[in-house]
Amino acid sequence: MSEENNKTALVYGGCGALGKTFITKLKSENYYVISVDLLPNPEANFNVKVTELTDWSKQSIEVISQLERSQLANKDERLDLITCVAGGWAGGNAADQNLVKSCDSMWKQSVWSSLICAQIAAKFLNPKGGLLQLTGAVPSLGGTPGMLGYGMAKAAVHQLTKSLAEPGSGLPEGATVLAILPVTLDTPMNRKFMPDADFSSWTKLEFVVGKILEWKGKNFTNRPQNGALVKFVTKNDKTELIVE
């Protein structure tokens, strides 16, 4: 790593809308950036390509083995930030004939990626203030009858976040784990499929990225407590943070 790149971050889901926004911002702040996704992100310094999509254990081994061949093989190098922004959305209630298929997809996208990030954190996260950020969802704090798979997967991420914050979780003692809980993110895909929605109630990607990098900054006094679930609630283009 060059002297200019004195901070290191990993973005799981580096080719999604939020992941791309993260990587662009991280690069502008001189981070050495590792992207993990199905495809490479050309802005990243190092890309981990995921090809194992049917076996959770094999995907974990595939990702971590590639990281062990990166600059992280140097024991003095540690990740300052791990952000897990892989995910997706699918609807479906108990009467939906495709329910199990959609639930399986939601579990793979949100829970597989989150747990693998936890394993990465246990192995590579900086014990001196490192941050592991997972992604939940406000609706999963309650019932989600029309999107059972999505609701269950995000609720599992919430539980994982709480568990990782407890002693004995395997994370470095000086690190922090938290989850962001948006309602709706302002992405091109969401605009495409919900063109008549109230965009002023959608959270801007740049705001999310800026807030997480603020928490990663040297002044940790602004960082939510370990295990926090942070709701991003936007109204009239203004976003309020509410910590659960």
Catalytic residue IDs: 150
- Rounded to whole angstroms, the Cα distance separating 72 from 78 reads 6
Side chain identity at 236, as an amino acid letter?
N
Contact yes or no for 11/36 (Cβ under 8 A): yes
> Which three-class secondary structure state does DSSP give residue 207?
helix
- Rounded to whole angstroms, the Cα distance separating 62 from 12 reads 13
Q: Report the phi/psi class of residue 238: left, alpha or beta, with left for phi > 0 and alpha for psi in -120 to 50.
A: beta
Contact yes or no for 78/120 (Cβ under 8 A): no
- Rounded to whole angstroms, the Cα distance separating 233 from 201 reads 8
- Rounded to whole angstroms, the Cα distance separating 149 from 107 reads 7
Q: Which residues, 6 or more positions from 235, have their beta carbon under 8 angstroms from its beta carbon?
A: 200, 201
Contact yes or no for 207/239 (Cβ under 8 A): yes
Give the number of other Cβ atoms within 10 Å of residue 46's Cβ: 20
Contact yes or no for 64/39 (Cβ under 8 A): no
